[in-house]
Amino acid sequence: MFSLESITNSIQTWLNNTFNPTIALLFECVIVGVLVISLFAVLGLVLVLMERKVSAYMQIRLGPNRVGPGGSLQTVADTLKLVVKEGLTPDGADKFLFNLAPFLVIIISMLVLAPIPFAKNFQILDINIGVLYVSAVSSVSVIGILMAGWASNNKYSLLGAMRSGAQIVSYELSAGLAVLSIVVLTGSLQLSDIIASQQNGWWIFKGHIPVIISFVIFIIAVTAETNRAPFDLAEAESELTAGFHTEYSGMKFALFFLAEYVNIFIVCSIGAILFLGGWMPLHIGNWNGFNHVMDYIPSSVWFIGKVFFLIFVIMWFRWTFPRLRIDQLLNLEWKYLLPISMLNLLLTTLITIMGWHF
């Protein structure tokens, strides 16, 4: 049986036997850093191609079909084009903050990956406040967006950054309350504990209607947090050209573009962990034969399958719903999602105290 855990254990054992503990830890950090950067590069290539193919399928057209087999190398060609483009800094811009903003956004995305378990016993750091860590660190990304908009010395960039800031701060509340529903049910902030609590069934199935409501609110809120359509007011092409990254070009623009898709992967990973069992296989009650067959599928395959299913749902939103106005977007959060989330959290707490969940 293929296992990522055995690979990591063998690498750690070899490093500890070959080098002293300090050097071994340093090499482990370097390996993790290289793997994270490689993952970001692969995710950017795969998710951009996936979005183009999904949109083409939904609009009854072919999509990329020239570069590589079936257009599979189109994103590689686009990446090479961005690499060779000149990075320009506009006159009047705050050069330091203008250049810092894209790196800040991508570094925050890297930090959020730390506690996410990609397979059984395969994660960078299993901290006991994983949910709090993800919520706290991911919220800092709005600073990079506001920094980019303000430092660009462009009214469209500034307006896009202000919209994005209002949007992210607002929808974080609903997303946080939806996450708290699962924390209340499991009694732990540790992501590995949340996954372990779903061994006899995913929370989306055994948590009754309140968890389904939390899941729907979570998906809506994280779609808005990642500036995805129909909540892409910060990048509304018809109003703001490209929003907060209008003045960016070359690799600095590519970092913003990459961070958006990586953030989609991260929020879908959190959704899969909280509601769909993470890497946990699908187990049904006392169906021992069925459960045994499900256990043969590697845990990494379960995790990636669930994450990409949620990514597909978010892409489906983009090509189904029209873009909202900024007042409609904020009304949806403050008048509907937030009150529903608060009542739903109370209901989840009652169900947990009474032990009414499966």
pLDDT in tens, 198-242: 888 888 988 889 999 999 999 999 998 888 878 877 666 666 566
Percent of the chain with pLDDT over 70: 96
d(CA 228, CA 226): 5
Rounded (10°) angle between helices 95-112 and 130-138: 160
Which pLDDT does position 242 carry in this prediction? 66
| Mean pLDDT of the 1-12 span | 76
Q: What is the pLDDT of residues 155-201, one digit of tens each?
A: 888 888 888 888 888 899 999 999 999 999 998 999 999 999 888 88
Higher-pLDDT residue of 196 and 88 is: 196
DSSP 306-354: HHHHHHHHHHHHHTTSPPPPHHHHHHIIIIIIHHHHHHHHHHHHHHHHH
Position 182: which residue type?
A: I
pLDDT value at 1 more than 50: no
Q: What is the mean pLDDT of the chain?
A: 88
Position 350: which residue type?
A: L
- Say if residue 312 is exposed, middle or buried (CB neighbours under 10 Å; 0-12, 13-18, 19+): middle
Q: Are 114 and 29 in contact (CB under 8 A)?
A: no
What is each CA distance from 171 to 67, 223, 264, in whole angstroms? 39, 9, 15
d(CA 307, CA 228): 17
The radius of gyration computed from the CA coordinates of the chain, to the nearest angstrom, equals 21
257 sits in the region (left: phi over 0; alpha: psi -120 to 50; else beta) called alpha
Three-class SS state of 119: strand
Which pLDDT does position 240 carry in this prediction? 59
Which pLDDT does position 2 carry in this prediction? 57
Q: What is the pLDDT of residues 103-125, one digit of tens each?
A: 999 999 999 999 999 988 888 88
**pTM for the full model?**
0.92
pLDDT value at 81 more than 70: yes
Least confident of 26-30, 237-241, 272-276, 349-353: 237-241
| DSSP letter, residue 228 | -
CA angle, residues 252, 257, 259, in degrees to nearest 5: 95
| DSSP letter, residue 61 | S
